[in-house]
Amino acid sequence: MQTIGQAIRQLYPISDRSFEQLTSLMQRQELPKGHILFREGQVSHKVFFIERGIARAFCYRNDQEVTFWFGVESDLVFSYYSYVANKPGYETVELLENSVVQAMDLAQLQELYLTNIELANWGRKLAEYELIKTEERFMVFQFQSATERYKALLQQNPALIQRVPLNQIASYLGVTQVTLSRIRAEVR
């Protein structure tokens, strides 16, 4: 498993001093399963680095929860729309296991961006990588069938299917749970 230091510096190499500045903003928190990191309709002021545990983001659609993102160890958790547009976010993010996270205040982070060019470029790289991750996820939806999406998930992240209930996996893949069961019956 990657440490937070490795994750930060792998994104974009920064000096020890910048690293200190960045990590000094972080607060280690142990949070229980079910804890809500972001709540739909609220403006977010925090970003979280997942040290241990798993999180999911979901929205409501026709009174049903639709899961569209999972975060695992060494992932960052943003309510990106809320952060960028400075408006209420549309998603709720909850922890699916007892977890350890490093929490950072977004206002303090943005302060750093304005005064430290190394960190400004680190923040740029962060957004750029999040962008291509989101783009890839989008492409998967537009270019692959539900069965292909499931197989890809099975290959790339088999642990996720063990750790998360299948109704959440189903909505993550964009199908109903019944369809996912059918797919699993085929693949088996």
- List binders of a copy of itself among 140-179 (CB under 8 A): 141-143, 174
Does the footprint of DNA cover residue 178 (CB under 7 A)?
yes
**Would you tell me how many other CB atoms lie within 10 Å of the CB of residue 162?**
7
- Would you count residue 74 as binding DNA (CB under 7 A)? no
**By C-beta, is 22 or 180 nearer to DNA?**
180
Residue 93 to residue 40: CA distance in whole angstroms? 8
Stretch that binds a copy of itself, among 32-40, 101-109, 135-143, 148-156 (CB under 8 A): 135-143
Instruction: Report which of 24, 160, 111 is spatially closest to residue 8, judged by C-alpha positions.
Output: 24
Does position 147 interact with DNA (CB under 7 A)? The reply is yes
The one of a copy of itself, DNA, none whose footprint includes residue 131, by CB under 5 to 8 A per kind, is: a copy of itself
146 is in the binding site of which of DNA, a copy of itself, none (Cβ under 5 to 8 A by kind)?
Answer: DNA
Question: Which CB, 29 or 144, lies closer to a copy of itself?
Answer: 144
Q: What is the number of other CB atoms lying within 10 angstroms of the CB of residue 32?
A: 10
If one asks whether residue 41 binds a copy of itself (CB under 8 A), the answer comes out as: no
Sheet holding 36-38, edge to edge: 36-38, 92-95, 55-61, 64-71
CA atoms lying within 13 Å on the CB side of residue 177 = 8
Beta pairing class for 92-95 and 36-38? antiparallel
Chain positions contacting DNA, by CB under 7 A:
145-147, 165-167, 174-185
